[in-house]
């Protein structure tokens, strides 16, 4: 279930707000300039190709591309049996920013985005059918967990794709990781 937790930076062990209501999540994220939507499910096989996934969601991708001026779209998948899963997880676990919006639509699986606004961190567990658009310049990080299972459509304004500027801050190490969040959610 999609869940949002809001932490105060000084109290990283106790979330101030916890909600799994999609309208609350959308409202709270929108207040920070973050787009959150839920798209309809498409019946796709687990091993669907990038082309098949992009074709299935062509209308939604076209709408966002027209509205936001995206240049490219691709699909990224990661499974627990991937031998590079630990390195992939580490790549995204430190706080960073981008010079473009980071847009992800979860075709399957889940992942945890942390968004850092002032003295608060919004931790949103995104799942199948969730779209999140993290505005450019927003300090954030992503945790896919130790046994990742997800497929996402990514949209980019920059044809070079994912380019991060790391902040050097240690805040990501002070908040609960994916494993703790799922334990609390379960």
Residue with tokens 């279930």: 1
Residue ranges of the binding site:
96, 98, 102, 140
For 119, 124, 179, 182, the CA distances from 24, given in Å and listed in that order, are 20, 12, 24, 20
CA-CA distance, 39 to 37, in Å (whole number)?
A: 6
Concatenated DSSP letters of 141-168: EEE--SS--EEEEEEESSTT----EE--
Residue ranges of the binding site for Fe(2+):
96, 98, 102, 140
Residue with tokens 């999540």: 25
Look at residues 89, 96, 107, 76 and name the one whose alpha carbon lies nearest to residue 169.
96
φ, ψ of residue 2 to 5 degrees: the values are -60, 130
Residue ranges of the binding site for Ni(2+):
96, 98, 102, 140
What's the maximum distance between 2 C-alpha atoms anywhere in the chain?
45
């Amino acid at each position: 279930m999609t869940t949002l937790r809001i932490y105060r930076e000084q109290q990283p062990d106790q979330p101030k707000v916890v909600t799994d209501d999609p309208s609350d999540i959308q409202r709270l994220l929108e207040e920070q300039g973050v787009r959150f939507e839920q798209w309809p499910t498409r019946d796709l096989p687990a091993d669907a190709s990038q082309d098949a996934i992009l074709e299935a969601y062509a209308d939604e991708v076209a709408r966002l591309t027209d509205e936001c001026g995206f240049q490219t779209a691709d699909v990224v998948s990661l499974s627990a049996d991937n031998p590079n899963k630990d390195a992939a997880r580490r790549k995204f676990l430190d706080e960073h920013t981008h010079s473009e919006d980071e847009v992800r639509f979860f075709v399957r699986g889940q992942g945890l985005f942390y968004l850092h606004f002032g003295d608060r961190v919004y931790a949103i567990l995104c799942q199948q059918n969730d779209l999140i658009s993290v505005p450019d310049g927003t300090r954030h990080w992503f945790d896919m967990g130790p046994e990742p299972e997800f497929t996402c459509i990514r949209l980019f304004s920059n044809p070079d794709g994912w380019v991060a500027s790391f902040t050097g801050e240690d805040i990501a190490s002070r908040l609960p990781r994916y494993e703790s969040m799922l334990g609390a959610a379960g």
